A = this chain, B = another copy of it.
């Protein structure tokens, strides 16, 4: 059986690279590529692949959002996230939005083929390193409420508690409460460590 493959990535060299790596595979048909979310959606209106390799950082929409959009319109298509970043937050978000796998860009030909094969069987596939970070950081998952995210962003902008209160039309005491909860959730002692951790975990 021949697998129809489509790729979405804004890096021309990556597209060409995967193309070159897979050109001798007879059971994989390369049906095209897109360099942004819009042209990907346009392509899908005329033709549907079995698998899409999708970069998570795209110029227009993020791969995370594109994944969701494609999956709701075409649930049969398997989507594999393609990324340089081995970040637990990205991996989780892609999987939540319906992706079937996560492939790092330093993957070998064998990994790519394994991934396509596994995904076509309806199973999930992770790059070795991606799987490792998922396991390693599995308990690090931090869930912030909407309000807490708002406060966190304003803290990062350098606003003080009174200023944040004014901005959100709540009292300084409330901001303080949120702040304490955020610090607890991140398990850090002060603002400096908080912002550092928040950036590394993809909140900012």
A156 adjacent to B196 (CB under 8 Å): yes
Distance A15 CA – B109 CA, assembled complex (angstroms): 12
Distance A156 CA – B12 CA, assembled complex (angstroms): 36
A158 adjacent to B192 (CB under 8 Å): yes
Residues from chain B with a CB closer than 8 A to the CB of A106 are 10-12
The residue that A109 contacts in the complex, of B12, B188, B191, with Cβ under 8 A, is B12
Contact with B along A187-200 (1 / 0, CB 8 A): 01111111110010
Quick one: copies of this chain in the complex?
2
Interface residues on A, range: 20 to 34
Residues from chain B with a CB closer than 8 A to the CB of A191 are 190-192, 195
A16 adjacent to B11 (CB under 8 Å): no
Distance A195 CA – B203 CA, assembled complex (angstroms): 14
**Residues 158-204 of A contacting B (Cβ, < 8 Å):** 158, 160, 188-196, 199, 204
**Residues 114-168 of A contacting B (Cβ, < 8 Å):** 155-158, 160
The residue that A12 contacts in the complex, of B10, B11, B107, B204, with Cβ under 8 A, is B107
Complex interface: stretch among A17-25, A66-74, A91-99: A17-25
Q: A residues bordering B, Cβ < 8 Å? A: 10-21, 84, 105-109, 155-158, 160, 188-196, 199, 204
